[in-house]
Structure 1
Amino acid sequence: MRVVHIIDHLGAGGAQRLVADLAPRQKQRGHIVTVVCLRHPTQTGRVLETAGVRVHYLRLGRTDPRQAIDLRAFLHAESPDIVHTHLTLSCLLGRIAAVMAGVEAVVVHDHEADAEIFITPAPLLALKRLLEPHLPPRGVRYIVISHSALSYACEVRRLPESNLILVPNGVDIVYLERGRVSSKAARAQFGLPVDAPLIGYAGRMAPEKGIDLLLEALSQLSGVHAAIAGQGPLANEMQAYARKLGVAERTHFLGYLDDIRPLLWACDVYVQPSRREAFGLAAAEASALGLPVVASRIGGLRDVVLDKVTGRLFQPGNVNELASILAFLVENVEYARILGFAGRSHICQYFTIDAVLDRIDEIYWGILG
């Protein structure tokens, strides 16, 4: 079938990773796949093109009204069987453009769950609540990525339960293991200490990610180091905060990494201390590699991490609880290893990219009858 994915941008993020994993595999299965990006070219786009996926860029700003017009023209020319939208703006504009272009089958992929209340202006959010459950086309399905997102979609967004499907983000385990080196060799790539316990984190340096909580917890631990990968608005502020807390020598800011696998190979424990998190792909990838994962008890992280089975969950914002859990895992290596082994089994059973691909194919064929 002819599939067009529409996404706001192809920068860093779980939605972008899913599209980058999904589109080439759909092409391998015989689908004719195009990815439409509202913004400008990025490295992720170039990776898709290298994999043989056509990428079309609108190169327009977030508030540019030409986005809907250009999308409608593109879809009218392409006549896809399925329009698959990702992220807030694309889900809105892509659906409108699909209806205007006469496309009958639309998949709205919700990567953000209740984050809409933080990023959507109140009048627009109210209008969305009122209209969304009744908007065309009739052949629309909503994909949510966690049980908490499913509950939110039913209870708050009032979406028809028959059109809601839970499909978690997928993890490419073969890719994560490819070229794997020892923890010692991976640490050497970043100049990290070889013998010290090492906690890892990868993600945006933004307030909702809770990096300040990780630094505060680290200040309560003796001899433990942290490796933090990512860029964002708080990058400089978090480095200054590490100095203020006296943990700068034990905190290694690695900046943005195109490939986070060496970081995960290097670590003893992975931490996702987010204040809000729709899914937590990096946490799932860490778990797939056998790391014990410590995460906030919120959103999709409660699906990825089973408390005291595959990792540990802590109350969001509770630094003392986070520090206590980390201290216990660092001191009890065998227990941490057991959690990591169970975590890998959990991810392999429920979160593989191939299982996600199968499920999405089922959704496509189901809409088309």
Structure 2
Amino acid sequence: MRIALVQTQAENAGAQEISRILARGLEARGHAVRQIFFFRRTASFDAVENARVVCRTRPSSPWAVLGFLVRLRRMLREARPDVVLTFQHYGNVIGAPVARAAGCRFVVANQVSAGAVVHPLVSWADAVLGSLGFYGRIVINSDETAAAYSGHTRAYRRLIRHIDHGFEDKTASVPARDARAALNLPQDVPLLGCASRLHPMKQLDCAVRLLAIRPAYHLTIAGQGSDRDRLEQLAATLGVTERLHFVGELDPGEIGVFLAGLDAFLHPSAAETFGLAPVEAAQAGVPVICNDIPVLREVLQTGGEPCALFADVQDPEALAGTVDSILTDPVLADNLRARGRRLSERYPVDAMIDDYARLIDELVGDGTSCASRSSSAGMPFGAGRSVSVND
């Protein structure tokens, strides 16, 4: 079976990591997979054999957008995928109708963009496309995300399926000193870290402000994005520039080294659909502090026990106190590490790929095409998990 994974920009971020894992897993099951990105933001997928970009840069004029749409349709017609999986809000509302115009019968829309970052007109377009049948199925990755669609039409809701993100173990067997040296990070200081796209919605400024009231702490940030200038200006204003360390965008294989050098991982994001970065950090054995939002409390727990601490990141003293508790209480830190390690059991990669394989078979109606090549072919789709949101 030919499968196309379509999304907006080529970069190393959460949705792209899921696409990368899915592509590899579906190829291992014997399928021809192509990843298609609307435009290239970084070099992260330049060497990926099955990846293509429609435009080298983001289309910024009406003519450029028209040319992009023509090229995207041509690329999909040439690829002739049996199923198209679209990701992120623009990937869904642009990718689905263009895929259908290119003759692709089956489209799976993946809702991996938090509602807070989606323009109301795009949300409206998504609701219309789902209700009119441009999507064959709609995938959500948490109960909190499912609740966001509870007010949509019945036609939309009956397409929803719940598939948890799986993730790859980012644990690196590297001593902290070596990890810090590899990334030119300071030794012998309390080192906090964030891994995120540099975007205002990620609220990385809250982590930077923490440095102003905890003069011993250092902060390192892995990622790229438009918010870097603002964060650097804030650090300069607060007088903490020397304790703020940007390491840039890291490849998936480098994230483990980054995590190995940290004393604690901060995730101050204002909104998520899942929260892949803190899940990876917790499973890698790094104590995690997250913004106190419902979806992160849902995702970051195993057996009813939290795998992270939560704080109102808009309250600097509350955030500082939470970080202090991890750095000064080794029993608490060890308990969080032990719970975090169990997240790999809750979100295994193979389970995610198997669920997508079964979903594709459910959609296409060919029981021999995808799931039958999976080790779990005899299981019902989404066995043991929430599957759909119908009413």
Instruction: Give the structure-1-normalised TM-score.
Output: 0.87
Distance 1:29 1:47, change over 3 A: farther
2:207 is equivalent to residue 210 of structure 1: no
SS in 2 for 1:294: strand
1:74-153, aligned counterparts within 5 Å? 74-115=75-116, 118-120=117-119, 122-129=120-127, 131-137=128-134, 140-153=136-149
**CA positional deviation for 1:303:** 3.0
Matches of 2:129 and 2:230 in 1, distance apart? 39
Segment of structure 1 superposing worse, 65-74 or 283-292: 65-74
Distance 1:113 1:156, change over 3 A: farther
* The one of 273, 283, 290 aligned to 1:278: 273
Higher helix share goes to which structure? 1
Matches of 1:210 and 1:315 in 2, distance apart? 11
* The one of 326, 329, 332 aligned to 1:332: 329
* The one of 255, 258, 263 aligned to 2:258: 263
AA of the residue aligned to 2:90: L
Which digits, 9 at most, give the CA deviation of each residue in 1:119-143, with x for residues without a partner?
42x44544544x2342234x71111
Distance 1:124 1:177, change over 3 A: closer
Partner in structure 1 of residue 377 of structure 2: none
**CA positional deviation for 1:323:** 0.9
**CA positional deviation for 1:159:** 6.1
Which digits, 9 at most, give the CA deviation of each residue in 1:180-213, with x for residues without a partner?
2111211122333333222111112221111211
Partner in structure 2 of residue 228 of structure 1: 221
Partner in structure 2 of residue 320 of structure 1: 317
Larger relative contact order (Cα-Cα within 8 Å, sequence gap ≥ 6): 2
Matches of 1:23 and 1:220 in 2, distance apart? 44
Distance 1:342 1:134, change over 3 A: same
* The one of 41, 59, 67 aligned to 1:61: 59
Matches of 2:153 and 2:200 in 1, distance apart? 25
Which digits, 9 at most, give the CA deviation of each residue in 1:99-131, with x for residues without a partner?
22333221101110313xx442x44544544x2
Decide whether the 8 Å contact of 2:171 with 2:285 is kept in 1: no
2:239 is equivalent to residue 238 of structure 1: no
Decide whether the 8 Å contact of 2:288 with 2:308 is kept in 1: yes
AA of the residue aligned to 2:300: V
The alignment-based identity, stated in percent, is 27
**CA positional deviation for 1:250:** 2.8
2:348 is equivalent to residue 357 of structure 1: no
SS in 2 for 1:89: helix
AA of the residue aligned to 2:95: G
Distance 1:41 1:133, change over 3 A: closer
* The one of 153, 157, 161 aligned to 2:157: 161
**CA positional deviation for 1:157:** 7.2
Distance 1:164 1:182, change over 3 A: same
**CA positional deviation for 1:4:** 1.0
Computed over aligned residues only, the root mean square deviation of the Cα atoms, in angstroms, reads 2.4
Matches of 1:41 and 1:296 in 2, distance apart? 27
SS in 1 for 2:48: helix
**Where does the alignment leave 5 or more consecutive residues of structure 2 unmatched?**
366-391
AA of the residue aligned to 1:61: P
Distance 1:266 1:124, change over 3 A: closer
Which digits, 9 at most, give the CA deviation of each residue in 1:19-51, with x for residues without a partner?
1121122111101111222224853323421xx
2:171 is equivalent to residue 177 of structure 1: yes
Which digits, 9 at most, give the CA deviation of each residue in 1:242-283, with x for residues without a partner?
233233333323233332222100011100011223332221
SS in 1 for 2:136: strand
Matches of 1:124 and 1:280 in 2, distance apart? 22
**CA positional deviation for 1:352:** 2.5
Distance 1:189 1:123, change over 3 A: closer
Aligned residues: 356
Matches of 1:72 and 1:192 in 2, distance apart? 45
Partner in structure 1 of residue 180 of structure 2: 187
Matches of 1:124 and 1:205 in 2, distance apart? 22
Matches of 1:55 and 1:295 in 2, distance apart? 33
AA of the residue aligned to 1:203: S
Decide whether the 8 Å contact of 2:305 with 2:339 is kept in 1: no
SS in 1 for 2:39: coil
Matches of 2:258 and 2:243 in 1, distance apart? 15
Distance 1:224 1:158, change over 3 A: farther
Matches of 2:30 and 2:41 in 1, distance apart? 25
Distance 1:4 1:190, change over 3 A: closer
Matches of 1:354 and 1:260 in 2, distance apart? 21
